[in-house]
Amino acid sequence: MKKFLTLTAASALAFYMTACSDNSTSADDDPLKPGSVYVFGSDYKAGELRWVNEDGVSDKSVQFNQDSKIVGIDGNLFVLERLGADNLSLVDASENKVKWQVELDDGANPSDVVKADKDEVWVALEGAAKFVKVAVKDGKITKTVETKKFNQGKATTPNLVDLEVSGDTLFALFQRSENYAYPAPGLLALYKLSNGDLLDTIKLAKKNPMAMGFAKGKLYVASQGEYNESNGTDADDKRGIEVVDFGKKNTSVVVDGKKLGGGVYAFAVDSEEGVAYAAVYKGFGDVPLMKVDLSKKDAKAVSDVNDVEGSLFFDDVDGVLYVGDRGSKGGLYKYDNGKVTKIESPKEMLPVYNITIVR
């Protein structure tokens, strides 16, 4: 593909070493603090936001669009209402009430949000060929970065699905689908965090990347690959987890779909231990949880959950993985020290769809 803005060899090495020295998704060096767990539920018709108290998941809830994602940043809780709504909301976590809500472009389909600075956040748009910087105080857009140069073929968007921040760099993950197919591998783009200037791009090894995360100074990308005729994914080498080599500007596969048993739908990383957790989408209702040792390049199943399509979130402070199971064992779970424990929740709670922590 066309090569966009690149750095010289010497400056690139210095830049990447600086960029990858901080595994935090925050734009500053403040230490992480304990936080509150929030869970979003959906039955594909209605959506609700709940929070975890000492006794379990709250009886109270706040209603949102059924297809929503929740992200906690600096004590704030952002709700990204996706297909059918295209809104961005800020929830006051102290009162669990909406402070403001702004409408995005029709079909924008917001997919992620990360901290840009103390006053602004970057918002990824999967359904538009751009991403935007938004003011935390009122939701107003302060900056727009065009991404249409990454569109695949006749597609109108490059499908930006995930953002990460490390040091002064914003990392953007593009699926680059065309007419519901994936003719080309995914793409990783690096931007200057402060203003969104494009720094470099790296072509991935696999198609349909879903998420990424840092572990021990390295960036790992998880891909689901293309669907099979049964709308599931195959246990082959066309999908898996790859690690980025910033010096060589390429990636190499850590574990593929053969070891995982299929493609990765959701992905969370324990950055200190160098362990990744992958929800492997074998088919609808069959989404096991795999624990991956990134240095040993091996994977093993985590028992007692079997349909973890309901999101994964790793708490870097407590070292606990939160798991959403949407199957027969449905509910919110935590995985700690090799043990899976279900968190008490109201009977009327909708199936878990998304999880985050607000610090």
Q: Is the pLDDT of residue 135 over 90?
A: yes
pLDDT, tens digit, 9 for 90 and up, residues 83-115: 999 999 999 999 999 999 999 999 999 999 999
pLDDT at position 29: 43
pLDDT in tens, 138-186: 999 999 999 999 999 999 999 999 999 999 999 999 999 999 899 999 9
Residue whose token pair is 């998880």: 222
> Cα–Cα distances in Å, from 82 out to 70, 211, 359?
11, 17, 24
Separation between Cα atoms, residue 144 and residue 122, nearest integer Å: 9
Q: How far apart are CA 228 and CA 114, in angstroms?
A: 33
Q: CB-hemisphere CA count at 13 Å for 107?
A: 7
Q: How confident is the model at residue 32 (pLDDT cuts 50, 70, 90)?
A: low
DSSP state of 310: G
| pLDDT at residue number 35 | 85
Cβ-contact 203, 190 below 8 angstroms: no
Burial of 112 (0-12, 13-18, 19+ CB in 10 A): buried
Per the prediction, the chain carries an average pLDDT of 92
Looking at residue 31, its pLDDT comes to 57
The pLDDT tens digits for 221-236 are 999 999 999 999 999 9
pLDDT band at 307 (very low <50, low <70, confident <90, very high): very high
Query: What is the pLDDT at residue 120?
Result: 98
Q: Each residue of 256-279: pLDDT tens digit? A: 999 999 999 999 999 999 999 999
Q: DSSP readout, 147-215?
A: -GGG--TT-S---EEEEEEETTEEEEEE---BTTB--S--EEEEEETTT--EEEEEE-SSSSEEEEEEE
Alpha-carbon distance of 159 to 125, in angstroms, equals 7
Whole-number Å distance between alpha carbons of 281 and 260: 10
Task: Please report the pLDDT score of residue 329 as a whole number.
Answer: 83
Please tell me the predicted confidence (pLDDT) of residue 15.
38
Per-residue confidence (pLDDT) for residue 254, from 0 to 100: 98
Residue 60 has pLDDT above 90, yes or no: yes
Asked whether the predicted pLDDT for residue 4 surpasses 90, the reply is no
8 torsion bin: left (phi>0), alpha (psi -120 to 50), beta (else): beta
pLDDT of residue 328: 86
Question: What is the distance, to the nearest Å, from the Cα of residue 206 to the centroid of all Cα atoms in its chain?
Answer: 17
